[in-house]
Structure 1
Amino acid sequence: MKNTLFIFTFFVSLFQANAQLTVPKETFTRRDTLQGGLRPERTSFDVLHYDLNIKISPNQKHIVGYNDITFKVVENTSKIQIDLFENMNVDSIIYNDKKLDYKREELATFIHFPQELQKDTQSVIRFYYSGNPVIAKRAPWDGGFVFSKDKDGKPWVGVACQGFGASCWFPVKDSQSDEPDNGATIKVAVPNGLMNVSNGRFMGMENLKNGYTRWDWEVKNPINTYDITVNIADYVHIHDNHKGLDLDYYVLRANEKKARKHFEEVKPMMDCFQEKFGKYPFSDDGYKLVETPYLGMEHQSAVAYGNHYMKGYMGNDLSGTGVGTLFDYIIIHESGHEWFGNSITSKDIADMWIHEGFTMYSEIVYIECQYGYDKAMQYAYGLRNAVTNDRPIIGHYGVNKEGSGDMYPKGALMINTIRHIVDNDSKWWRMLLKYSETFKKQIIKTQDVIDFFNKESGRDLTPIFDQYLRYTSIPELEFRKSGKVIEYKWNAEAPNFVMPIDVMIKGKKIRLEASTSWKVFTESVKSINDIQPIKTDFYIKY
């Protein structure tokens, strides 16, 4: 989940009225390149493990500690890049018990080693740091820390940094292209009487005898750096188990009773998602919902929940159909990310539609599991009202720039369209399951997705993906009377665009293999108005 979804939803009517087919040229800074680019200082090493050991002081809004970064050298190098936002202090960087030289440029810290590190060797650096992290003004719409209070006046702290950068609060190789192969350890000391909940399994606590207690957590799986999290509050722990999967909920003390009832929705969701997408990818790390002072975020194995125990999205229905209030949007959407985003991760943030399009489609899948196909298609059809067609869904590569917020609804509608192009539900569900399992815990690109669905569907879907992902318009189906016959074609910009479309004629479904060239309509009809495309199944303009 990211800020763009929530912003464009509230202002969708304004955006749609002003949507353009041309996109203004964007400019990027050196900082954008440092954050989003892959240069030798980043590609020469592969992170194996993060061991974060810090103290957070909520009243002072301050962090101090270190991160032990274990990495493998993949190309000989004497310099690597580790990221930490400019407002945070680099206290020292230790390698083999000696301080290393480094140079800071924007958020990047270029670390120099006294001797060249050799390929296929492993090294560990300890990166000491401190400072007051950026405070989000409106998380998760912007990135940073949230320092809040619960109803009893006790500190309630969280962080959300997708897109913004995990380096806003700890030193890290801040790129989706590299997840720590062996997971992470997150040790966080907080004032006595409070608890910290992070990703993975709870490994124990230790009273440090200085007014702070350290809470230790361990993630065994590779993890996206923006997923690494802290949650500090006076939490109550609720434990459950569903068919062998540990379910743990950490909620504010006052909300324990309502949480026990409300979070029962997790069980049918898990049944649905595991049937359609495969086994929960992080069962050895468990599944958690953690109550947060912001709306939500897909923090792997510690999903942030702040929807106030309401159905819908803060009580509202993003589809405008009424179907969206049948489920808790944050539970379903953010948990869907465990498969799409956390397990299957895009190499560059420009391809974030791989996270968000499939995850918003998981909402449609859940509705179908619970309430049937018709309700699911009703919800899907309603999502088109949230599409702005302002910019392409795919963003700019190498500069930490995602594409349009349309990656959510338009991405989901594109996937729903492909389902109906396949026109065989048994085959479709096998394809979707195979997609999830083929790329499980992998980092991929848009082309990987296209190649997979081309192969599994048995047809060239490339122009269809291109039209929805790389252009701001959607395919427009056009009919015309030409003499005594009716002709049809697509208006689309993607080269060699061909896409089937199902239409209804007097209660009969007919499939047309339409292209950007005029074709003769062979069915007998009196008027073009007798031809009705099935727009619930295909996201098109007509």
Structure 2
Amino acid sequence: MHNKLLLATAMVIIPLLGFSQFLQNKATFTHADTLRGSDNARRKWWNVLHYAITVNPDFDSKTIQGKVTIQYAVVKPVNTMQVDLQQPLEVDSIVHQKRSISFIRTDNVIFIKNLPVHRLGAHDSITVYYHGKPREAVRPPWDGGWIWKTDFLNRPWMTVACQGLGASVWYPCKDYQGDEPDNGATLTIIAPDTLMAVGNGRLIYSGKTSFNKKKYTWQVVNPINNYDIIPYIGKYVNKKDTLMGANGLLTLQYWVLDYDSSIAWQQFKQVKPMLRAFEYWFGPYPFYEDGYQLVQAPYLGMEHQSAVAYGNHFKNGYLGRDLSGTGWGLRWDFIIIHESGHEWFGNSITTKDVADMWVHEGFTNYSETLFTEYYYGKEAGTDYNLGSRKNIVNDKPIIGPYGVNKEGSSDMYYKGSALIHSIRHSMHNDVLFRIILRGLNKVFYHQTVTTAQIENYINQYAGFNYQYVFNQYLRTTQIPVFEYAVDSMKHSIRYRWSNCLSQFNLPLSLWNENGMQIKIYPTTQWKIITVQQNQIGLFNQTLIERLYYVQTKLLCYNH
């Protein structure tokens, strides 16, 4: 009951934020924030190649023991390395080339100062041994950490949620979003032999380690976000399936608590339709080598790569609610659709700085519109998108401050989606729009990116420079107003943009079911055009606000 009350409270306080852990609002930033959020000199000289993580949690004491071998390549000749590990976890020792090496611990940062200076391109590794009582999640996934729960039969159920908070809350790493391990990671979980341990990717080893303990080693071969590497430990049962997808045979695995298996297998039938829709819009699933997994978790959900966390209680909608208020959101399971959409935007395409997280959340939020459209039609998708806009608060810009591990507004979800919807309809070319989405996933496949790269790609291939449109929606809180007046006698329209940046120039494409259409290029200066009689009806406030995230103001025509 206590857990249910917490969940209900979370739904009231943060019902519409998706599932990233939003970082605490701060007016000023410290040196520690810069160390955490920037690609500083002690980080950028080494490129992570692989993480080999071993963790042994103890449920009764809520402690963990572990070790991590970090393989890296030398990019610059520097010998001071920053590794991140959040307190109160403690470092036991650090080994380099079979020798213990000294280090300095400052808050959540470890500095290793006596590494040999290698030639550029050289490969090396360190192994960090550590232990302690990791931060416990208070309200996962929004306030994360290690999660120590019991299931309905009072059996241990353990996992982690750490996006935003950072993977260094439970294992030492370069806790910087811009550097993913090029060659993937292995996660070895030591768990009670009465339970099953699930990790990302594929199980490559399992076996007894000692009395009442069993070891499971999971492997991903693709680059992966630090916060996506997650252990799940519980009384899991497994169902396997396959999908003949765009890149061949894709393996599917579902892991749920034993007593939920019947309802879960029924609900998880939505996975294949989801994958078909997203492969249509975005291109092939990005991790065929590692497969797709959906894993029941003791919290709502998270986009853990090739091991998506699921906690939506096997209901359609968001815990049985439609966040759009249109009814369309009750046709499908929000967590299956939204968190899986992150496999393309967030996991394959990852932003270097969390300030640019709108790329993850805006496109993934729009994936809900695209899924609805794929199965129920374009008008249904537009209904869903329009209904979701009521959740926009315009409290601050979507893009946050750079270099301090700070996200922008939660509007990155719904306003980011509305931005994409507006650009799409401005183009009025869904074939080209789909080519752009698939092109993003091809060009930036398994890469870390900046907002500028995404903006420039869309501007280049859309055939129009939307830079001032991006600036308006990502970097201000103003909702543009389309002011217009109609002279029906002379068939003329007078219009402009207001309440916006002086250079705002979103084109408006307007059309109806009879094939009538027009495209105009408003600016903040008044323009007058002459139209055909049957085009006047296209200048309709409801139609304009349905297709674009703008407000409209119909004025009297002044001659």
TM-score by length of structure 1 reads 0.93
State whether structure 2 residue 241 is matched by structure 1 residue 240: yes
Question: How far apart are 1:114 and its partner, in Å?
Answer: 4.8
Instruction: Give 1:490's aligned residue.
Output: 497
Question: How far apart are 1:29 and its partner, in Å?
Answer: 1.6
d(CA) in 1 for partners of 2:183, 2:214:
26
For residues 8 and 373 of structure 1, do their structure 2 counterparts lie closer, same or farther at Cα, with a shift above 3 Å needed?
A: farther
Instruction: Give 1:358's aligned residue.
Output: 363
For residues 505 and 249 of structure 1, do their structure 2 counterparts lie closer, same or farther at Cα, with a shift above 3 Å needed?
A: closer
Alpha carbons 2:351, 2:360 under 8 Å: kept: yes
Instruction: Give 1:177's aligned residue.
Output: 178
d(CA) in 1 for partners of 2:33, 2:500:
30
Alpha carbons 1:504, 1:531 under 8 Å: kept: no
Alpha carbons 1:296, 1:305 under 8 Å: kept: yes
CA distances 1:70-119 after superposition (whole Å, capped 9, x unpaired): 00110011111000002110111011221111111221111122532332
Instruction: Give 1:511's aligned residue.
Output: 519
Question: How far apart are 1:522 and its partner, in Å?
Answer: 2.2
Partner SS for 2:80: strand
d(CA) in 2 for partners of 1:26, 1:58:
37
Question: How far apart are 1:490 and its partner, in Å?
Answer: 0.6
Instruction: Give 2:506's aligned residue.
Output: 499
Question: How far apart are 1:58 and its partner, in Å?
Answer: 1.4
* Segment drifting more, 350-359 vs 267-276: 267-276
State whether structure 2 residue 349 is matched by structure 1 residue 344: yes
For residues 7 and 388 of structure 1, do their structure 2 counterparts lie closer, same or farther at Cα, with a shift above 3 Å needed?
A: farther
For residues 277 and 6 of structure 1, do their structure 2 counterparts lie closer, same or farther at Cα, with a shift above 3 Å needed?
A: farther
Identify the structure with bigger relative contact order (alpha carbons < 8 Å, sequence gap 6+): 1
Alpha carbons 2:394, 2:411 under 8 Å: kept: yes
Question: How far apart are 1:510 and its partner, in Å?
Answer: 3.2
Instruction: Give 2:555's aligned residue.
Output: none
State whether structure 2 residue 156 is matched by structure 1 residue 151: no
Instruction: Give 1:67's aligned residue.
Output: 68
Instruction: Give 1:44's aligned residue.
Output: 45
Which of residues 465, 470, 484 is equivalent to 2:470?
Answer: 465
Partner SS for 2:113: strand
State whether structure 2 residue 258 is matched by structure 1 residue 258: no
Partner SS for 2:281: helix
For residues 389 and 525 of structure 1, do their structure 2 counterparts lie closer, same or farther at Cα, with a shift above 3 Å needed?
A: farther
d(CA) in 2 for partners of 1:357, 1:42:
29
Equivalences, count: 527
Instruction: Give 1:16's aligned residue.
Output: none
d(CA) in 2 for partners of 1:436, 1:427:
14
Question: How far apart are 1:26 and its partner, in Å?
Answer: 2.6
Corresponding letter in the other structure for 2:92: D
State whether structure 2 residue 521 is matched by structure 1 residue 520: no
State whether structure 2 residue 125 is matched by structure 1 residue 136: no
Alpha carbons 2:137, 2:145 under 8 Å: kept: yes
d(CA) in 1 for partners of 2:13, 2:411:
8
d(CA) in 2 for partners of 1:362, 1:333:
7
CA distances 1:309-358 after superposition (whole Å, capped 9, x unpaired): 00000111111111111100000000000000000000100000010000
Alpha carbons 1:8, 1:386 under 8 Å: kept: no
Question: How far apart are 1:521 and its partner, in Å?
Answer: 4.0
d(CA) in 2 for partners of 1:276, 1:372:
14
**1:433-448, aligned counterparts within 5 Å?**
433-448=438-453
Instruction: Give 1:19's aligned residue.
Output: none
Partner SS for 2:506: strand
- The structure 1 segments of at least 4 consecutive aligned residues displaced by more than 6 Å after TM superposition are 5-8, 481-485, 504-507
Question: How far apart are 1:208 and its partner, in Å?
Answer: 1.1
Alpha carbons 2:493, 2:531 under 8 Å: kept: no
**1:269-418, aligned counterparts within 5 Å?**
269-418=274-423
For residues 155 and 505 of structure 1, do their structure 2 counterparts lie closer, same or farther at Cα, with a shift above 3 Å needed?
A: closer
For residues 505 and 261 of structure 1, do their structure 2 counterparts lie closer, same or farther at Cα, with a shift above 3 Å needed?
A: closer
Question: How far apart are 1:493 and its partner, in Å?
Answer: 3.4
Instruction: Give 2:460's aligned residue.
Output: 455
Corresponding letter in the other structure for 1:489: R
Alpha carbons 1:505, 1:532 under 8 Å: kept: no
CA distances 1:116-154 after superposition (whole Å, capped 9, x unpaired): 233211111110000111111110111111111111110
d(CA) in 2 for partners of 1:419, 1:502:
10
Alpha carbons 1:281, 1:339 under 8 Å: kept: yes
Partner SS for 1:190: strand
RMSD: 2.3
Runs of at least 5 residues in structure 1 that lack an aligned partner in the other structure = 13-23
Instruction: Give 2:86's aligned residue.
Output: 85
Partner SS for 2:425: helix
d(CA) in 2 for partners of 1:6, 1:397:
29
For residues 159 and 413 of structure 1, do their structure 2 counterparts lie closer, same or farther at Cα, with a shift above 3 Å needed?
A: same
d(CA) in 1 for partners of 2:149, 2:291:
27
Instruction: Give 2:547's aligned residue.
Output: 537
Partner SS for 1:499: coil
TM-score by length of structure 2 reads 0.90
Question: How far apart are 1:204 and its partner, in Å?
Answer: 1.9
Question: How far apart are 1:480 and its partner, in Å?
Answer: 4.9
For residues 106 and 256 of structure 1, do their structure 2 counterparts lie closer, same or farther at Cα, with a shift above 3 Å needed?
A: same
Question: How far apart are 1:504 and its partner, in Å?
Answer: 6.8
d(CA) in 1 for partners of 2:48, 2:502:
40
For residues 88 and 204 of structure 1, do their structure 2 counterparts lie closer, same or farther at Cα, with a shift above 3 Å needed?
A: same
Runs of at least 5 residues in structure 2 that lack an aligned partner in the other structure = 1-9, 18-24, 553-559
Corresponding letter in the other structure for 2:461: E
CA distances 1:397-426 after superposition (whole Å, capped 9, x unpaired): 000001100000110111111111111111
For residues 523 and 286 of structure 1, do their structure 2 counterparts lie closer, same or farther at Cα, with a shift above 3 Å needed?
A: same
Identity, % of aligned positions: 42
d(CA) in 1 for partners of 2:449, 2:371:
25
d(CA) in 2 for partners of 1:246, 1:529:
51
Partner SS for 1:427: helix
